[in-house]
Amino acid sequence: MQEEYPWKNEKHFHRQFILEYAIFENECLHNQTRGDLNIPTTLRALDLHYYLYQLTVLNHFLLQQKVANIAVPPDIQLIINETSIPNRYLTSPPLRVTTKFLSF
Q: Tell me: the pLDDT tens digits for 41-89?
A: 889 888 888 888 888 888 889 899 889 988 999 998 998 888 677 787 7
Distance between CA atoms of 44 and 58, rounded to whole angstroms?
Answer: 21
On the CB side of 92, CA atoms within 13 Å amount to 20
8 Å CB contact between 18 and 104: no
DSSP E strands, 6-98? none
pLDDT in tens, 17-26: 999 999 988 8
Burial label, 78 (beta-carbon count in 10 A; 0-12, 13-18, 19+): exposed
What are the boundaries of each domain within the chain?
6-97
